[in-house]
């Protein structure tokens, strides 16, 4: 398990008329942070796409605890949570950089698709990437799930 921390400042266009960051942006920040996770581990999206792999989000959940607004800095912890043959997930925690207050927690689930958006079993097609991913995530249930044989 390799935790990665992504940080930046809130942008003005990310706020709404409530005066705080619009809730949809946290999902985009998860994506930014996830991009850094892949990049730091030499597994970035751009490379994957050049192999013809896309990695859509198939599930997302977020709990909003404290708001952020323009002028605030934040950091986002990306925690690899689970990795199966065709599916993997991350947990996220977003903190206010000045106060270290926890603002948002969330998680995303992903699968691997080929260019025609069909499910890709990376253990068959890209065994090296598969092994790398497996090491990065908690080593969960390694037995192939029956549903996808």
Task: Report, as residue numbers or ranges, the catalytic residues.
Answer: 16
Please, are residues 14 and 22 in contact by the beta-carbon 8 Å criterion?
A: yes
Contact status: 63 vs a second copy (CB under 8 A) = yes
Q: In the chain, helix, strand, coil percent, each to 5?
A: 30, 35, 35
Contact status: 5 vs a second copy (CB under 8 A) = no
Give residue for tokens 């709990």: 63
Please, are residues 81 and 89 in contact by the beta-carbon 8 Å criterion?
A: yes
Residue 18: CB minimum distance to a second copy, A: 5
Q: How far apart, in Å, are the Cα atoms of 53 and each of 32, 48, 99, 101, 140? A: 18, 5, 39, 37, 23
In the shown chain, the binding pattern of residues 94 to 133 toward a second copy, with x for contact by CB under 8 A and - for none, equals: -----------------------x----------------
Residue 27: CB minimum distance to a second copy, A: 4
User: Which residues have C-beta within 8 Å of that of residue 68, sequence separation ≥ 6?
Assistant: 10, 20, 21, 74, 94, 96, 103
Please, are residues 36 and 83 in contact by the beta-carbon 8 Å criterion?
A: no
Among 38-46, 83-91, 121-129, 134-142, the segment contacting a second copy (CB under 8 A): 38-46
Contact status: 51 vs a second copy (CB under 8 A) = no
Contact status: 64 vs a second copy (CB under 8 A) = yes
Contact status: 54 vs a second copy (CB under 8 A) = yes
Q: Rule CB under 8 A: which residues touch a second copy?
A: 8-9, 11-13, 15-20, 22-25, 27-28, 31-32, 35, 44-46, 49, 54, 56-64, 67, 69-71, 117
């Amino acid at each position: 398990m390799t935790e990665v921390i992504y940080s930046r400042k809130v942008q003005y266009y990310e706020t709404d008329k409530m005066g705080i960051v619009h809730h949809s942006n946290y999902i985009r920040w998860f994506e930014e942070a996830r991009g850094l996770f892949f990049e730091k581990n030499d597994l970035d999206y751009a490379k994957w796409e050049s192999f013809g792999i896309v990695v859509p989000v198939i599930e997302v959940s977020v709990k909003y605890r404290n708001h952020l607004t323009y002028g605030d800095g934040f950091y986002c912890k990306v925690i690899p949570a689970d990795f199966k043959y065709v599916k993997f997930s991350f947990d996220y925690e977003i903190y206010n950089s000045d106060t270290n207050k926890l603002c948002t927690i969330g998680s995303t689930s992903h699968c691997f698709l080929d260019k025609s958006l069909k499910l890709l079993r990376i253990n068959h097609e890209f065994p090296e990437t598969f092994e790398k991913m497996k090491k990065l995530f908690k080593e969960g249930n390694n037995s192939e799930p029956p549903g996808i044989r």
